[in-house]
Amino acid sequence: MRIEKEEKGRCEMGQCGKRVSNIIRMDRAGVKSRIYICDECIKKLYKVLSEYLIPKSIETIKKEKILR
Ligand SMILES: [Zn+2]
């Protein structure tokens, strides 16, 4: 899986619908092999994932400060 910059399309996260600037590409995937996601949603996704994977760790807090 990798993330690339992309200017076309619309963000697919919920009701967002903003112009995308990132695409998450899945390796060896079928029809739905790409997820369009804008900068705002990718940061939200990152936050959610970091909280889910490493709850309340010092590392997470450090990374959040770098993103802002
Ligand atoms: Zn979005």
Sequence ranges of the domains in the chain = 2-67
Neighbours of ion ligand 1 (CB under 5 A): 11, 13, 16, 18, 38, 41
Distance from the alpha carbon of residue 41 to the mean position of ligand 1, in angstroms: 4
Predicted structure pTM score: 0.69
Mean pLDDT of the chain: 84
Determine the pLDDT at residue 10.
94
User: What is the per-residue pLDDT for 28?
Assistant: 73
Q: How far is the CA of 51 from the centre of ligand 1 (A)?
A: 19
Which strand (E) or helix (H) includes residue 23? strand 22-25
Provide the pLDDT for residue 40. 96
Residue 20 contacts residue 8 (beta carbons within 8 Å): yes
Collect the ranges in the chain with pLDDT lower than 70: 29-32, 55-68
Ligand 1 centre distance from Cα of residue 4 (Å): 15
